Structure 1
Amino acid sequence: MTLPTLLDIEASGFGRGSYPIEVGLARADGSTCAFLIQPLDEWTHWDPKAELLHGISRGRLQREGYPVRQVARWLNDELGEIGIAYSDSWGYDNTWLSLLFHHAGMLPAFRLEALRILLSEQQQALWSRTKEAIIGEQGIHRHRAGEDARLLQLTYQRTLELTANT
């Protein structure tokens, strides 16, 4: 079974002024990678509640983050050939992805689609329970982009297997 490539973005918060701080991928082969993003000077919005969730400080982003253009180039290199990635929070992730590419002065070489378009009704019905079970089994650290992308991919795979047997 070929797994869909999943993309997840962690952000400085939600709503106006928020921006991407980490982008992660779970590739079709199950491997993951993620990059912290160095905030631009004009990206000043910071929600302490969001930091409590993802555990990434603004100082750490400034020290360890990659420049916006480098992250955009990496995403195009990773996703340009397959042309598509999926997200469970398309509305937010697509907005942050657009912001990233806009500030990089680049166009994405792929499109982001909502994960739900791949899911049958049976998969959707099993989704939450299956996802919670996988978190428990694997001790996944939530709200980090690479781990969250892999969690979505594993949940997709298991719900597909469960519905194939019915």
Structure 2
Amino acid sequence: MTLPTLLDIEASGFGRGSYPIEVGLARADGSVCAFLIQPQNEWTHWDPKAELLHGISRSRLEREGYPAIEVARWLNDELAEIGIAYSDSWGYDSTWLSLLFHHAGMLPRFRLEALRSLLDESQLRCWKRTKEALIRERGIQRHRAGEDARLLQLTYLRTRDAGC
């Protein structure tokens, strides 16, 4: 069985006015890719607490980020064929994904679904414990989109195979 493709988005903060700053994918083969997103002129919301979590400054985004249209094209290129990606924070990630595609002037050629829809009761019971164990074992840097997507994928794999 192939692994589900996981998508994760880091943002400028939470709630009204927040926007995506990094998008990452963990592909079905386990490889990971992530891109920083250049803020649009009207994207002014910035939460210093969010920056403390992800460690990405707004000035870094302005220097190293890719335009929204390039990130949206990349996502469509990556995901159109499989047609689906999963997120553990569907409510937030789907909103930020919509905002990204809106500013790119494009429509996504895939859908984003809640990761929870793939999990059975036994996986849900041991999800948090398994995820925390993987963070410790692998020294995973949290709150970066690519690493978080891969962590979710590894947690899915271990909870599925271990039958915890």
Unaligned stretches of 5+ residues in structure 1? none
CA distance in 2, matches of 1:153, 1:36: 21
CA distance in 2, matches of 1:110, 1:126: 29
CA distance in 2, matches of 1:35, 1:41: 19
1:125 counterpart SS class: helix
2:96 counterpart SS class: helix
Which residue of 2 is the match for residue 150 of structure 1? Answer: 150
CA distance in 2, matches of 1:91, 1:162: 28
Unaligned stretches of 5+ residues in structure 2? none
Alignment pair present for 1:125 and 2:113: no
Q: In angstroms, what is the RMSD of aligned CA positions? A: 0.6
Residue 135 (structure 1) shift = 0.2
Which residue of 1 is the match for residue 18 of structure 2? Answer: 18
Which residue of 1 is the match for residue 100 of structure 2? Answer: 100
Q: Which aligned runs of 4 or more in structure 1 are off by greater than 6 angstroms?
A: none
Which residue of 2 is the match for residue 88 of structure 1? Answer: 88
Which residue of 2 is the match for residue 52 of structure 1? Answer: 52
2:112 counterpart SS class: strand
CA distance in 1, matches of 2:48, 2:138: 27
CA distance in 2, matches of 1:107, 1:68: 12
Question: TM-score scaled to structure 2, two decimals?
Answer: 0.99
Alignment pair present for 1:37 and 2:76: no
Note the alpha carbon deviations across 1:121-153, whole angstroms, 9 max, x for none: 000001000000000000000000000000000
Which residue of 1 is the match for residue 65 of structure 2? Answer: 65
What is the percent sequence identity of the aligned residues?
83
CA distance in 2, matches of 1:81, 1:57: 33
CA distance in 2, matches of 1:42, 1:75: 22
CA distance in 1, matches of 2:45, 2:68: 16
Which residue of 1 is the match for residue 4 of structure 2? Answer: 4
Q: Which amino acid aligns with 2:64?
A: E
Note the alpha carbon deviations across 1:70-91, whole angstroms, 9 max, x for none: 0000000000000000000000
Residue 162 (structure 1) shift = 1.2
Residue 154 (structure 1) shift = 0.0
CA distance in 1, matches of 2:139, 2:31: 17
Which residue of 1 is the match for residue 27 of structure 2? Answer: 27
Question: TM-score scaled to structure 1, two decimals?
Answer: 0.98
Note the alpha carbon deviations across 1:77-108, whole angstroms, 9 max, x for none: 00000000000000000000000000100000
CA distance in 1, matches of 2:14, 2:8: 14
CA distance in 1, matches of 2:22, 2:140: 17
